Amino acid sequence: MRKVGDIIKAMIGPELAETVRGYSDFFKSWEDITEKNHIAAAGFHSRIKEFERGVVLIETEHPGWIQLLQTKERKLLYDFQRRFPEKGVTGIAFFLAKERGETGITGLETPVLPGPEPSEETEEKIDGKISWDKIHDEGLKATLRRLEKAIAAQNHAAGTEDLP
């Protein structure tokens, strides 16, 4: 069995995979950042939901967690800016999850997908581009499309080459 990261790298190529890894590191940093600011419990009951136009959107399970996080907002913002200067973080916004219990997901390991290893023929056909017909999970497909758009927008804003 292969890890999700290995499959994504085979589908999109090594350069884009490195960009994806950067976003993954960004989203995984929440637990560490909240722990550093002595609000680890709030980190367990919240998560980075989106990163859009320089603003980190934090989803929480209860309004009380929002209040606690707001007391440390300036320090949290500083930590994001210091750790990820290339992301251009300009602000943090907090909002309540639609259903309680939705966000306590920190500490999960990268899932391993069941099934056979992709053949060399499959990897050659992918050739560094996303092969949407190879992805059968609609949720994963939607997430990857949003990520592709976000990366393309960031590359466009930075004046770098767009996705293939």
Does 28 fall in a domain?
yes
For residue 15, pLDDT over 50 is answered with yes
Does 68 fall in a domain?
yes
Confidence band for 122, pLDDT divided at 50, 70 and 90: very low
Does 163 fall in a domain?
no
Does 103 fall in a domain?
yes
> What Å distances lie between residue 77 and 55, 56, 70, 81, 94, CA to CA?
10, 9, 11, 6, 12
Compute the average pLDDT of residues 9-18: 68
User: Is the pTM above the cut of 0.85?
Assistant: no
Does 139 fall in a domain?
yes
Question: Cα 73 from chain centroid?
Answer: 20
Give me the amino acid identity at 44. F
Does 15 fall in a domain?
yes
- Residue-number span of the structural domain to which 37 is assigned: 2-158
3-state secondary structure of 55: strand
CA distance 98 to 59: 9
Q: For the ranges 37-41, 49-53, 62-66, 134-138, which has the lowest average pLDDT?
A: 134-138
Burial of 65 (0-12, 13-18, 19+ CB in 10 A): buried
Confidence band for 146, pLDDT divided at 50, 70 and 90: confident
Where is 56: in which H helix or E strand? strand 55-60
The count of structural domains within the chain is: 1
Does 164 fall in a domain?
no
